[in-house]
Amino acid sequence: MTTPSLIWANSGDSHVLEPQDLFFERMPRALAERMPRSVKDPDGRWETLHIDGNSWRRRLPTRPLTDETGLSQQDKAPGAWDPELRLKDLDGEGIWAELIFPSISMWTSSLTDPELLRTGVSVINDWALEFQQRSPRFVCTAHLPLLSVEDTVAEIRRTHEMGFRAAFFPVEPPPSLPKFNHDVWEPVWDVLEETGMVMAVHIGTEAHDAGVINGQYHRGPGGAVLNYFETSFGGQRITAQMITSGALERHPGLRVMVSEGGATWGPFLADRMDEGYRQHWSAVRPKLAKLPSEYLFTQVYASFQHDGSAVAAMSAMGWRNVCWGSDYPHIEGTFGHTQSTLRGLFANADPAVRERITVGAFAELFPHVPPVPVA
Amino acid sequence: MDDDDSSLHETPAEFMNAVATLTGRCDGQSVIRGAQGYAVGCSCGWRATAATGVEGLRAAVAHTGDEA
The total of structural domains in chain A comes to: 1
Structural domain for A180, as ranges: 9-365
pLDDT (tens place) for every residue of chain A, 375 residues total = 667 789 999 999 999 989 889 999 999 999 999 999 999 988 888 999 999 999 989 888 755 667 777 766 666 677 888 899 999 999 999 999 999 998 888 888 888 899 999 999 999 999 999 999 999 999 999 999 999 999 999 999 999 999 999 999 999 998 889 999 999 999 999 999 999 999 999 998 887 655 544 445 677 788 778 878 888 899 999 999 999 999 999 999 999 999 999 999 999 999 999 999 999 999 999 999 999 999 999 999 999 999 999 999 999 999 999 999 999 988 788 999 999 999 999 999 999 999 999 999 999 999 999 999 987
- Nearest chain B Cα distance for residue A24, angstroms: 15
Is the separation of the CB atoms in A33 and B34 below 8 Å? no
| Residue A170 located in a structural domain | yes
Residues 6+ apart with CB under 8 A from A210: A54, A56, A110, B16, B30, B32
- Search chain B and give the residue with CA nearest A104: B8
CATH number, domain containing residue A40: 3.20.20.140
Decide if A337 contacts A77 (C-beta within 8 A).
no
Q: What pTM was estimated for this model as a whole?
A: 0.91
Nearest chain A Cα distance for residue B23, angstroms: 9
**Domain map (residue ranges) of chain B:** 24-68
**DSSP-assigned states of every residue in A293-322:** HHHHHHHEEEEESS-TTHHHHHHTT--TTE
Chain A contact present for B37, CB below 8 A: no
| Residue A205 amino acid letter | T
Strand-pair category, A46-51 with A300-304: unpaired
Type of residue numbered A60 = L
Set of chain B residues whose Cβ sits within 8 Å of the Cβ of A20: 3, 6, 8
CB within 8 A of A34, min separation 6: which ones? A51, A52, A53, A111, A113, A116
B22 CA to chain A: closest CA distance, Å? 7
Helix ranges (H only) for A96-217 are 114-132, 149-162, 186-195
- Give domain status of residue A296, yes or no: yes
Say if A69 falls within a structural domain: yes
Chain A neighbors of B58, CB-CB under 8 A: none
Query: How many CB pairs (< 8 A) connect A and B?
Result: 129
C-beta separation of A59 from A49 below 8 A: no
Q: Are residues A213 and B4, on separate chains, in Cβ contact within 8 Å?
A: no
Q: What is the ipTM of this complex?
A: 0.90
